[in-house]
């Protein structure tokens, strides 16, 4: 019988892959690549099972559920409960409870984090204005706004370095850590600057998961457990 702790640990390990700077970190939507990389690494050392007719039927159902979740379609809990094991279905609620706890913990932001977000919003505002002027053919105004955006980002990164040096615990609020060495990624670019992990930006690489993503992780793990010894 599958150990319920194994189910949870394998899904949680998805976040560990990102936090330790894995090759999957380049994806802005890291759930599927990171989690599948974990499963592929595990499956390399485990033989495939020979499925019975009932198991093949179950696999087809789980694959269909997985496809619907990937397409952001609604899947009823009753259907999940029908095709997942008791432990796998219970893992959905447990993982989602962890996500809600995470959101509660992130409500009380330190002042330094609030300041960082305000500085980032200012830089984004200037960048959006630059794009607006560029589309209107106002190249000089666009260049002025772009320059303001870069300047705001440079000031923000300087402040970021100061606050991190003063309080290393602030690292946990950001989706990435910058490499300040020559040739590193500490550049005044909106796509590469750290984002606070409560951000909804598509550039953020944090581990916060939606309910749909939690379900998808559990279903992918269930498929893996069905296919391999």
Instruction: Give the residue, 160 or 192, on which the prediction is more confident.
Output: 160
- Looking at the chain, list the stretches that DSSP marks H as alpha helix, in order from N- to C-terminal side: 4-19, 31-43, 53-70, 77-83, 86-105, 111-135, 139-166, 211-227
The pLDDT of residue 180 is above 70: no
The top-scoring range by mean pLDDT among 3-7, 45-49, 149-153 is 149-153
Instruction: Give the residue, 98 or 144, on which the prediction is more confident.
Output: 144
The pLDDT of residue 8 is above 80: no
**pTM value surpassing 0.85:** no
Sign of CA dihedral 28, 32, 35, 39: negative
pLDDT band, very low/low/confident/very high, at 43 (cuts 50, 70, 90): low
The pLDDT of residue 16 is above 70: no
What distance in Å separates the CA atoms of residue 15 and residue 108, rounded to the nearest whole number? 22
DSSP 20: T
Look at residue 108 in the predicted model and tell me its pLDDT.
74
What distance in Å separates the CA atoms of residue 11 and residue 172, rounded to the nearest whole number? 20
Rounded to an integer, the average pLDDT of 60-75 is 94
Look at residue 14 in the predicted model and tell me its pLDDT.
45
Instruction: Give the residue, 185 or 97, on which the prediction is more confident.
Output: 97
- Which two tokens mark 48? 């495939």
Look at residue 48 in the predicted model and tell me its pLDDT.
86
Look at residue 197 in the predicted model and tell me its pLDDT.
78
Look at residue 32 in the predicted model and tell me its pLDDT.
43
- The average confidence (pLDDT) of the chain is 77
The pLDDT of residue 97 is above 70: yes
């Amino acid at each position: 019988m599958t150990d319920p702790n194994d189910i949870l640990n394998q899904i949680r390990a998805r976040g560990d892959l990102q936090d330790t700077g894995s090759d999957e970190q380049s994806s802005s939507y890291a759930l599927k690549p990171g989690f599948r990389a974990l499963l592929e690494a595990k499956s390399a050392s485990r033989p495939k099972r020979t499925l019975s007719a009932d198991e093949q039927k179950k696999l087809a159902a789980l694959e269909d559920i997985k496809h619907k979740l990937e397409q952001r379609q609604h899947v009823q809990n009753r259907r999940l409960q029908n095709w997942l094991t008791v432990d796998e279905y219970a893992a959905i609620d447990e993982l989602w409870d962890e996500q809600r706890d995470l959101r509660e913990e992130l409500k009380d932001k330190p002042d330094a984090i609030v300041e960082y977000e305000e500085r980032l919003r200012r830089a984004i505002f200037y960048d959006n204005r630059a794009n607006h002027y560029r589309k209107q053919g106002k190249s000089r105004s666009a260049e002025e706004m772009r320059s303001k955006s870069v300047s705001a980002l440079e000031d923000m990164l300087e402040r970021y370095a100061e606050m991190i040096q003063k309080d290393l615990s602030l690292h946990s609020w950001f989706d990435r850590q910058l490499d300040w060495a020559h040739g590193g990624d500490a550049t005044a670019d909106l796509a590469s600057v750290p984002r606070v992990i409560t951000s909804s930006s598509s550039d953020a690489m944090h581990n916060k998961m939606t309910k749909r993503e939690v379900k998808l992780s559990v279903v992918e793990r269930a498929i893996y457990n069905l296919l391999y010894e």
